[in-house]
Structure 1
């Protein structure tokens, strides 16, 4: 088995990079949806949700960078076009959503989809002895599970 410079089997690295690119596409779509929710939210929960959505999109933007840099660390190329993102995205797109419950519901659905992708990558990275990707996925999962719980609590 041929290993790359960080000691990961070349075949495993390619599979991991491919799945991380799927995650990257989904995070970019999620990020853009959060921006739209932040801009378009209306109603009595405006101030609370406007700030929360900004917090979430700032976090998503940081994660996008972390994912892309991990792909580069694995000696692969991160996707970077909207066309590639659209083709791979499984998270829903927020299209002119201004209602608070619809907005939070979209976030719940998006986080659930991201968690599925991250758990799949976690399994791959564990099998490949890729502790860097494994640790990143573990951190993402624990943060997003908490956010998902809070969003569901807000929905009642």
Structure 2
């Protein structure tokens, strides 16, 4: 009986996938801190509803980050693990700390759409490398972020 080994990404495609996985980990870390920032600094007539939504979103993102990084380790990919690396690799921007309520929501709509699209682009590459568990998790994360983006767009009165 042949011994089964853990999935391991290989070759040039594997190296590119490793960079892509870490870029999206960095994006999720920046998104997490951004939403936490918004949760702390939200002001205005929609404070209660947005404060609660932002808390839901940062908790979800924190859980996604942990699962994602652990699944990276399962396929023998070392996840980034410093703020310096996250900021150097992320393709979304940090919160400035001075955003108003409307700008917070608009920025999150754009970031959630961007991150969900980037995650979906990873799925085929993960499947090609036989990292099926991570591919499924990434697809679920993307779908959930798309739903959050839709809810926030609806809050803004945009479809």
Q: TM-score, normalised by structure 2?
A: 0.88
- Taking structure 1 as reference, are residues 58 and 16 closer, same or farther at Cα in structure 2, changes over 3 Å only? same
| TM-fit CA distance, 1:8 | 4.4
Structure 2 matches for 1:16-35, cutoff 5 A? 16-35=17-36
> Is 1:70 equivalent to 2:71 in the alignment?
yes
Would the aligned equivalents of 2:42 and 2:101 in 1 still touch at CA under 8 Å? yes
Question: What is the Cα deviation at residue 13 of structure 1?
Answer: 4.2
Residue 13 of structure 2 corresponds to residue 10 of structure 1? no
Q: How many residues end up aligned between the 2 structures?
A: 153
Structure 1 CA distance, aligned partners of 2:89 and 2:113? 16
- Paired residues of 2:9 and 2:76 also in contact (CA < 8 A): no
Instruction: Give CA-to-partner distance per residue, 1:68-119, whole Å, 9 cap, x none.
Output: 1011001121101111111111112211145221111111111122122202
Aligned residue for 1:93? 94
Cα offsets for 1:10-68 (capped at 9, x unmatched): 22544333221111100000000011100100000001111110110000100110111
Q: Which residue matches 2:58?
A: 57
Structure 2 stretches lacking a partner, 5+ long: none
- After TM superposition, give the deviation of residue 9 of structure 1 in Å: 4.8
Query: In 1, are the aligned partners of 2:26 and 2:85 still within 8 Å (CA)?
Result: yes
C-alpha displacement of 1:128: 2.1
Q: Which runs of 5+ in 1 are unaligned?
A: none
**SS of the residue 1:76 aligns to:** coil
Asked if the contact 1:28–1:85 (Cα under 8 Å) also holds between the matched residues in 2, the reply is yes
Instruction: Report the TM-score, using the length of structure 1 for normalisation.
Output: 0.90
Superposition RMSD in Å:
1.7
Q: Do the aligned partners of residues 43 and 9 (structure 1) sit closer, same or farther apart at CA in structure 2, a change above 3 Å counting?
A: closer
